[in-house]
Structure 1
Amino acid sequence: MKTKDLRQRCWRKSSYSGAENGDCLEVADTVTGRLPVRDSKLPERVMRVNKEAWTAFTSAIKTGAV
């Protein structure tokens, strides 16, 4: 999927980002295959991550292992 096609996707940010709409990491988890992740400050730069790696990463954060 091309980056320009990803602009139409529904991006979400962590609920821990706060109400001030500050800069954060966003994910478009409605995409099949590798998961698109971006920095809200630079939305045109998208990194695609293996879903299993993303799940392991977010689980490690939640448990405090990172």
Structure 2
Amino acid sequence: MAEQRSKEGMQKKLEYIADYNKAAYDRVELKIVKGAKAQYKAVADAYGLSLTALFVTAVDEYIQRHQK
């Protein structure tokens, strides 16, 4: 019985997190050449970043450099 309540509680928590993420963030999907992910992940790890943080930082820096 306690296990069932635990599963229900976990399900509600996951639903809450999914709802929050949907409301708070935009989602972008990238398609990259097979094998490139490992290379990007190694770079991100070397700088202590997640892949998302690496890509966002790179795009932000690109925009800064190329703004007129």
Q: TM-score scaled by structure 2? A: 0.30
Give the number of the structure whose alpha-carbon radius of gyration is greater.
Answer: 2
Higher relative contact order (CA 8 A, sep 6+): 1
Q: Taking structure 1 as the reference length, what is the TM-score of the superposition?
A: 0.30
